[in-house]
Amino acid sequence: MQSSDTARAYARSLFELASLAGSVDATDVSLRTVVASVRGELQLREALTDTAVPVEAKRALLRDIFGANVTPEALAMVTLLVERDLAGVLADVARLFGEIAEAERGIVAAEVTTAVPLDDALRASLTDKLAASLGRPVALRETVDPSIVGGVVIKVAGRVLDGSVASQLDSVRRALATNPGGEA
């Protein structure tokens, strides 16, 4: 099984467990908290992935750090991944868990790429317009890519809406190249 398949299987299992416990939203937040902590603390990451550290010590470390701050479901999943030497897929499990939770709630994920980060007003406006257009709530997955120069590229519901300056310049370049006497 590839790591993406592994992460998806664990995320799906955790979603089922969290659904039964009525803690899907809290577990989503908990997973993101754990991932941010592991990413931000080199010593923690090393302790959780070091095969020389006994499994019981890793369990105790996770309980001490996260036990009171995350859902029992999230703690159990993180502990299981660490015990099975799968700490490397933790971020993928968290991301996929969030995607599964959104899909189950009828929320559409829209991948939005901009040349600069969105401000709160533009983010809210974009979310509202997409939700109105799709007739369903929308969650933005934001990416910054300076190569698009300006504008926005939106991938949602199997469609790509490319309003980037880079694609507009490309269109002009192609139009000039096809016109007699035009230069690209």
Cβ burial of 65 (10 Å; 0-12, 13-18, 19+) is middle
Q: What's the pTM?
A: 0.71
Report the relative pairing of strands 159-162 and 138-144 from DSSP bridges: unpaired
List, edge to edge, every strand of the sheet that includes 152-156.
138-144, 108-114, 152-156, 159-162
Take residue 63 and report the two structure tokens written for it.
Answer: 């309980």
Q: What is the pLDDT of residue 181?
A: 64
Smallest CA-to-CA distance from 97 within 113, 78, 69, 118 is with: 78
**Residue 1, pLDDT score:** 56
Residues facing 162 on adjacent strands: 153
Distance of alpha carbon 21 from alpha carbon 147, whole angstroms: 44
Q: What is the pLDDT of residue 73?
A: 97
β-pairing, 152-156 with 108-114?
antiparallel
Enumerate the domain spans of the chain. Answer: 3-103, 108-178
**Topology of domain 3-103, per CATH?**
Peroxidase; domain 1 (1.10.520)
* pLDDT average per 10 residues of sequence, the chain (184 residues): 86 96 95 95 94 95 95 97 95 95 91 95 95 93 93 91 89 86 56
- Parallel, antiparallel or unpaired: strands 138-144 and 108-114: parallel
